[in-house]
Structures are given as structure tokens and as C-alpha cells.
Chains A and B, each alone.
Chain A
């Protein structure tokens, strides 16, 4: 009995010993360790792959050499779960002793990772996670956080104005029932109603809805247009069913509804749909054309904004390290220098505002079927039809007044014209 129990005790002891021996030794300063947190398994694995590919592509471009510093790129799987993201970030900070944390897909992952960066005094660069409050009302809690992507409502503010300019008076909104959906639709509503429009309806199908049959007939017939915010497989299903229902109204959408991540899988029913984001793969600049071709040659698909934003984030990090001659200047100084950066990137000129969110172009994009960049097949592309230059996260609104209002939610802004 005792022997068997000792045997049972053996493996944990052995495990402890192995764990001890695996602790990495402290490294020289010429190495820049970047910890990258993205979902590489689970339902978001494909998005995670786009994120990693984007970052990796930049590293390959510069041969992992950031102004003399050799980049050690460590990818950890967050599985799309906030507490896994925390564990992984802790592992990166404590065990790998990374200089920078990068990544996080969902808003919830961003909210989970930000406090880790504060606790471990490690820089957190946010390329994707778009939760508004990270760089708005909660900013003071996260001194080591810089966003290089976008905030959810940032493209929605000019987009609401654009909708007014098209002469739309009444719009019905239908969006995924979670924080990101509230923020995208909330931003659109604020801007659209500020210029005289009316949101007459808000429908919230749960995230992951596969059948929109019960929702589509309830869309009000007196709406001039429909605003949608879909994510993942919902993006594919909704336009299909909407077209099948004989819809003739114009369709507008949040950026992720028509991003290049879903666009190649979509049918012709989305032609003419309009969305807004800080990037389009159909952007006709030499930089973007070169990026699209390079990315497509390597990974066999058109880059999505997930790839672009990570490529650009890598570029921005490179820029700061280069300015410091290959040395990491310390977390506080790094954040300061990154926030002072003005860079010409693939998506256009990017600078960072005083609340550490990018100021960048917002593109109004229309889905068209055409040939681009010399590819010989007709494909769906997000053609840019209007550019709003240098948009901040507060858009056309006054920053102080904006920050006094609560963050966008299911009930804010209130739906005054719904009845």
C-alpha cells in the first residue's frame, strides 16, 4: 500500500522538478521578447491565425531584426476566454519575462489583459481588442496600455454622418447582442441622431445566431435603411436570409460584418452593402497593394484587418526600438514614445491621441465585384467610396462631453424613436 502510494506521489514530484528545470535563464538585452496572445484553438482559431500571420509577416520582412535587437516572438493561445488570456499573459510576463504583451481578440480579452499589464508593469499593445473604455473612461487604470488598432465606435461616428449625407431619415439597427455590438451601433446612433436622423428600432439577436428567420420579418418597413453588426458566422448567414426575404432597402454595416475575413466566403447578395472601418484590402495605395500581394502569395488569402493591424503594430514597435538603437527603453518610456509616433502605414497615416488610441483614416467601403491588383478573377472587394481623414475616437464630438456620458450599452443611447 505504502509503495503504491509512493508511486502515486512520484509523478507530481517529478513534475515539480521538470517545472523547475524549465525556468528560462535571464537573457541579454539585445533580445526583444514579444509575447503574443491570440486564440489559436477554439471557435476563433481562424481569426487568431490571421492575427499571428500579420505579425509574423512583418517579422519575416525585417528578418526579426528591430534596429539591432533580435525579436523573440512567443505566441500563446488564449482560446477566446478571458481567464485563459490572463493565465497566458502571466506566463509570458513571469516566466518568459517579455518586454511587450501584444494581442487579445475579443473586448473581454482586452479587459482581462489590461490589468495584467498594470500589475506586472509590462507594456500592453492592443492591436485588435476594440472595447471603447480601454482608452476612454478606464484609461487611468492602465498606464502601460497603448492601442494600435481601433475603438469599436470610432468608425461608427463618421459613418453616422455619412448616412445623414445620403439622405437617410430612419434606420433600423440589428446587431449581435454583446458589448462590441452595443458600441458599434451606439456610436452610429449617436452620430446619426446628432445630424437629424432617427434610429427607429434596435434588434439584438444573441451572438452565434444561426437562423434570422424570426428577426428579419420584424424589421420595420418604414426604415430607409438597415444597419447591421454581425460577427463570425452570423456575418455570412444574415445577408443571405435578408436577400431571401426580398429586401430592397440599402444595407449598412459595422466593419466586421464585411471585413475581408468573411468577404471571400460571401455570395453576390452582399454587393452594394456599405460598411466603415480603418482598413480595406481594396485601398488603392502602393503600400497596400504590395502588402496584399505579398500576404496573398504567402498565405493564399486576402489580408483581413486582423492581419493588417498586427502587421502595422509590429511596424510601430519596430519604429520605437529603432529610435532607441535596438534597446528597450523601459515600459513607461516605451509607452510615451509609441504614443508620440506618427507613421505612414498600410492603412494610411496613423498617430496616437492623448488617450492612447490611434487617430486615423476611416474608410466608407462598398462591396463590389471586380478585378483588383492584377488578379484575373472577379472577386468581392471593399471599394473605398469616401475617406474621412484623421478621425479620433471621439469623432465629431467634444471629448469632455463625450466622456461624461456612459459607455455605449444596450440602453445607451436610449432609443427615443422606437415605439
Chain B
């Protein structure tokens, strides 16, 4: 078997295990996993930009916010999205976020590197400002409470049912993004990441490629927002704030940028430490800090880089042993 197939198989096995183990654990763990999965979609969307296109975005929370606010506003004002129309809301959340990304993209894509970071940061803060100040629509800093989760044949108020729904969305998102990054389009994104000038010379419209990637990432961010709104039951400017964007970026880096699955692992670890460990011990922040520092010092390619590091070390050791053998033979 090719190594790529093994990788895919392992991911599938891991996901299946998750889907079997989690619903049988206690309801707080189910809740946390559900939220971590919703967040993972956002982190993967960051990874499409950061890991595959080389665009570090600091404004991804804006799309999460759009998706979440669209869901919350429709549900509380128009009672829309609480039955089968939930699927329309999910679609609307994706479309609105993608539309916002299309607008923001026009401004942001012209920049690269640190400048891209700064522009996306500024645009993200614009979205936050709107959420915070547009009181009549967003409820200001009090946010919006969602009364109930949708019901269509299945009742999503049940945590386990809801977990499976989010899990489904997550699995489909992972599959779609995986297909995307392995498509010719995804390959050219990686080309842009490696050397944009060369891609330009080869005749690629790099601006358009980046622009499309930006919009797609925005759409997935919106989907994460729709799910996020229903997991917490409250949407507030706190969701759109800069730290959410930074978190998403850090999670992607921690797991390993440019791997998709790495982002998921990063999200699980950070979210798990912050929400679960913190209920057990007061010094959880040190653990989180240590994880970040150790990753940056020893695993610049993230947790997903571990197997490669091990392989490198093995070949290195192997070579050393051979050298020793040769040395003993010749002496």
C-alpha cells in the first residue's frame, strides 16, 4: 500500500473511533467534542489559507461570526432555521460568509506576508466592531440567545444527535477540503505558496487562485459559525474578537500547517486543555503555554511533523551505525 493510502485509512479509523467512543462518554465530554469539531472546521479553513496557499489570515473569526449571527438572527427574529429550513440556514451562512470573504478578499489579496496579516486583522476587527456596535441587529455585547436547536425528524436538542450532525458536517468538510487541496487547483495553490513568481511566469493567474481560496475558506468559516451558534446557544462579539482568529491560527500551526488533519488535532488539544483541563486544575495555562513553546522549539512543522522527525532520526542513526561498522572493519 502507498503511504498516502495508509494515512487516509488511519484518519478514517480515528474518526470512526471518535464517533463510537464519544457518544458513550459523559455528556460534558460530548458537548466539548461537538464544539471542538465545529471549531476544527474553522481551523481547517485557516489551514487551506495558511498551509496550502501561504496566506496567514488573522481575520478568520469574522466568517465564523457571520455564520453564527446569520443563524442566530434568523432563528430569533423570524423563527427561521428551526425545522428542515436549518439546511437553508446552513447554506445561507456559507453564502454570506463567502460573500463577505469576496469583499474582504478584494482588499486583502493584494498584500502578502506581514501585510496580509495586518489587513486581515483590520478587516476582522471591522466585523467585530459591527457585531459590537450594531445594537439593534446583534444585541451589542449582550449577544443573542438561541432558544432552541432545530428539529426535523430528529431532535437536535439531544446532545448525542447533535454530536452526530456536527460530526457529519465535519467529516464532509474534511473530505471536501482534502479533495480541494489534492486537486490541480490545490496543487497550484501550493505552487503559489512555494514561489509565486514562478507560477506567474508559468502563466497562472495567481491573484485569482488566492482570491478563490480566500472565498472558499470564508465559506467553510461560515459553516463553522452556523454549527458554533447552535453548540453554545449564544452568539456574542466575543466569538468574533481577535483572539478567536489567533486561536484558530495557533491551532493550525500547533497541529502542523498544510496537513488539514493537523489543524483538527491542534484544535482538539488546545480546546481540550482550555475547556477540560481547566475544570480540573488551576494551572492549565502553564500546560498550554508549555505545549506551544515546546512545539515551536522542537517541532517547527507541528505535531504532524513527529513521524517525519522520527524517520529522520532513524535514518541518521542508521547511517551512524554504518559509519561505525565501516570504521571497525577498516581499523
Binding site for B on A (CB under 8 A): 1-2, 4-5, 8-9, 12-13, 15-16, 19-20, 22-23, 40-41, 76-77, 81-84, 86-88, 90-91, 94-95, 106-108, 111-112, 114-116, 119, 131, 141, 177-179, 207, 409-410
Contacts and interface: CB of A to CB of B under 8 A. Distances in A.
A94 B27 contact: yes
B140 A179 contact: yes
Nearest to B24: A20
Contact of A12 (B135, B268, B276, B282): B268
Interface string B6-44: 110010011001100110111111011001000000000
Contacts of B141: 106-108, 178-179, 207
Nearest to B276: A19
Contacts of A9: 10, 13-14, 17
B236 interface: yes
A45 to B, nearest CB: 11
A179 B276 CA distance: 31
Interface in B266-282: 268, 272, 275-276, 278-280, 282
A410 B286 CA distance: 41
Given A4-B306, A9-B14, A94-B27, A86 B234 contact: yes
* Interface of chain B: mostly helix, strand, loop or mixed: helix
Contacts of B310: 4
Nearest to B129: A206
Given A4-B307, A9-B17, A76-B279, 6 more contacts: A15-B272, A82-B143, A111-B234, A112-B233, A119-B157, A119-B233
B26 A19 contact: yes
Given A13-B17, A111-B142, A141-B147, A83 B234 contact: yes
B125 interface: no
B53 interface: no
B112 interface: no
B147 A112 contact: no
Nearest to B279: A91
Contact of B236 (A5, A8, A91, A112): A112
Interface string B144-174: 0101000000000100000000000000000
A114 B133 CA distance: 23
Contacts of B238: 81-83, 108
Nearest to B29: A19
Interface string B175-218: 00000000000000000000000000000000000000000000
* Interface of chain A: mostly helix, strand, loop or mixed: helix
A344 B155 CA distance: 47
B6 A86 contact: no
A215 B236 CA distance: 28
B306 A86 contact: no
A22 B276 CA distance: 11
Contacts of B6: 1-2, 5
Contacts of A4: 306-307, 310
Contacts of B35: 87
Task: Tell me which of A15, A83, A119, A409 has the highest count of chain B C-beta atoms within 10 A of its own C-beta.
Answer: A83
A251 B330 CA distance: 94
Interface string B234-260: 101011000000000000000000000
A112 B145 contact: yes
A12 B14 CA distance: 9
A309 B188 CA distance: 62
A94 B31 contact: yes
Contacts of B103: none
Contacts of A76: 279
A20 B276 CA distance: 13
Contacts of A87: 31-32, 35, 232, 275
A86 B232 contact: yes
B315 interface: no
7 contacts: A2-B6, A83-B232, A83-B238, A86-B232, A94-B26, A108-B236, A108-B238
A246 B21 CA distance: 67
B321 interface: no
A86 B268 CA distance: 19
Contacts of A107: 141-142
Contacts of A81: 236, 238
Given A87-B275, A115-B147, A179 B142 contact: yes
A20 B14 contact: no
A411 to B, nearest CB: 8
A177 to B, nearest CB: 8
Contacts of B239: 83
A114 B234 CA distance: 11
Contacts of B145: 111-112, 114-115
B240 to A, nearest CB: 12
Nearest to B27: A94
A20 B306 contact: no
B3 interface: yes
A413 B284 CA distance: 45
B79 interface: no
Given A41-B285, A112-B234, A91 B28 contact: yes
Given A13-B21, A41-B285, A82-B234, A95 B26 contact: yes
B142 A83 contact: no
B241 to A, nearest CB: 9
B233 A115 contact: yes
B253 to A, nearest CB: 18
Contacts of A119: 157, 233
A19 B27 CA distance: 11
B156 to A, nearest CB: 13
Given A2-B6, A83-B239, A410-B135, A8 B27 contact: no
A241 B143 CA distance: 32
A1 B307 contact: yes
A16 B147 CA distance: 30
B27 A95 contact: yes
A372 B254 CA distance: 55
A16 B143 contact: no
Given A4-B310, A83-B239, A179-B140, A16 B21 contact: yes
B27 A82 contact: no
A248 B275 CA distance: 50
Contacts of B279: 76, 88, 91
Contacts of B232: 82-83, 86-87
Listed from nearest, the 8 A-B pairs whose CB atoms lie closest are A5-B10, A95-B28, A83-B232, A4-B307, A94-B27, A23-B26, A112-B234, A16-B21
Contacts of A112: 143, 145, 233-234, 236
